Amino acid sequence: MGKFFSYVFFFAAILAPLPTGLLIAGSDNLEVRSSGRIPRYTLEQAILTALQRNPDIQRARQEIERTKGLYLELRADALPRVDATSSFSDTDPHLNNFTGDGGSGPSGGIIDPNDPGGGSFQSLESAERTYNLRLQATQIIFAGGRVVSQIRSADFQRDAAYFAFRNTIDLVIATVRTQFYQILLNRALIGVQEESVNLLGSQLQDQQNRFEAGTVPRFNVLQAQVALSNVQPDLITARNNYRIAQLQLARTIGLDFDPRRGDAPPLDAIGDLRYEPRRVPLPKAIEVAKERRPFLKEQKANVLSNSAQVGVARSGFFPQISATGGTDFRSSPISEDINDTRSGYIFGATGSWAIWDSGQTYGRLKQAKAVLQQSKITYDDAVRQIELEVQQAYSNLVQGAELIRSQEQTVGQAQEALRLASARLGAGAGTQLEVLNARVEVTRAQSISLQALFTYNSAVAEFDRVTATEVTYANQLDEPKTRRKLRTDPAPTPPPKPTPLPLNRAGTRLPVR
């Protein structure tokens, strides 16, 4: 079949797209920068930690091992089987001695016809201890194609497990990126809400001073107090969302709860949300996805595995023939001498043919063909599913870019409007309501701008997943059924592509309290 697997390259393929100098938590020779007792992760560090500790990836890796064992089990039917069997018996002497008159006597004898009494018994006593040793090889000669088809099916199941492993990796990386961006978003929203609280607190203090000076009514003070109280729940919610996002990422990358940290966050994220335009034509993206998505390759391998199972079911119409050969060592049945043995060869053949099984084989064949057709339908649907996912991710990508462009000037304009409203209020030409409304618009504009950055970066992460461009594997395996028969050396892995989230090399940003 011309398929060669090199599982040695699995983690080389996983780690190759990432910087080799990354430091990982929970490893003996790698460490994560920490602030106090809180580990701090860059995006690349979080991804690399997830590749090592995420349970979904670990389960997918064990599924590969299971299919490798299945392949070895079924391949054994095509090879000779050598069995060694032995037996030993020690018989009570009384069981070997019988006489014709109901008493005990020598066993294994014959009656002497020359004896006038006709009851003389001549002993041919058997040995009390006997043993037997047999070494035998068995080989299936003909099985109607069952053995070959089983091996092919297991071979393609191993393919499917490998591509499922790659699909799990892509999914976990996209999840880590999205959750990492969620942490950055929630942290930035905390800053927005804290700024709003501080400004409204300053506004309240200003109105209280003016009220004490008798220049404004008490209504202004009450209005400022209500406005300040109304933004407090938003700050509390933002802080809670930030903690929840940290916990979710910690679970995804496989961090256990440490009782020593108490209610402190399990990790902190390094970086800021950035906008780096990504322009990819939709037809090209769909073409790349169909070519590279491991999910589609997995479905194709399932089709080929089920096709081989049809051959397994069809083998029931043919005879099953196997041959045996070996040697046998036997002790003497009449001598107690352990060295008195005989040995010789054993050769034979066995065969069976279900001439009439009341339709059992036909039923199995019909089931196998139906499963094959189901897998083909699933494959066709997987193609359409990939097309849909790419189009959805592309649409979200466009939406995020449009939101960012629409908010480029909004924050600055809202801040300028707040400054003018505050100046008008100070000059006595404006009202406090204008200032409060302008403050609300600034907070809203900043929140929408941050949400647009998160939407875009999350869309980029999903777009990379659905087009299978996030990870480039060092071992270039041919497609199932079209693989070349010659092993090819792994192609060099290209350097990692730019990410929407550049690393914060300084590492001086402190977690928000």
In order, the DSSP letters of 454-509 are HHHHHHHHHHHHHTT-S---SS-PPPTTS--SS--PPPPPPPPPP-SS---SS--P
Predicted local distance difference test score (pLDDT) of residue 475: 52
* Length reported for the chain: 513
Cα 299 from Cα 380, distance rounded (Å): 9
Cα 421 from Cα 426, distance rounded (Å): 9
Predicted local distance difference test score (pLDDT) of residue 18: 43
Which segments in the chain show pLDDT lower than 70? 1-36, 95-127, 338, 424-425, 428-430, 432, 474-513
Residue 469: both structure tokens together: 């461009």
**For the segment 235-262, what is each residue's pLDDT rounded down to a tens digit?**
999 999 999 999 999 999 998 888 888 8
Give me the residue spans of the domains in the chain.
1-53+145-317+361-513
**For the segment 354-392, what is each residue's pLDDT rounded down to a tens digit?**
999 899 999 999 999 999 999 999 999 999 999 999 999
Please give the model's pTM, rounded to 2 decimal places: 0.76
Of 229, 255, 186, nearest in space to 34 by CA? 255
* DSSP assignment string, 16-32: TTS-TT---TT-SS---
Phi, psi of 307 (to 5 degrees): -65, -40
Predicted local distance difference test score (pLDDT) of residue 116: 53
CB 121 within 8 A of CB 99: yes
Cα 47 from Cα 41, distance rounded (Å): 9
- In the sheet that holds 341-352, the strands lie side by side as 81-90, 129-142, 320-331, 341-352
**For the segment 284-333, what is each residue's pLDDT rounded down to a tens digit?**
999 999 999 999 999 999 999 999 999 999 999 999 999 999 998 887 77
Residue found by looking up tokens 């297991």 in the block: 154
The domain defined by 1-53+145-317+361-513 carries CATH number 1.10.1040.10:
no
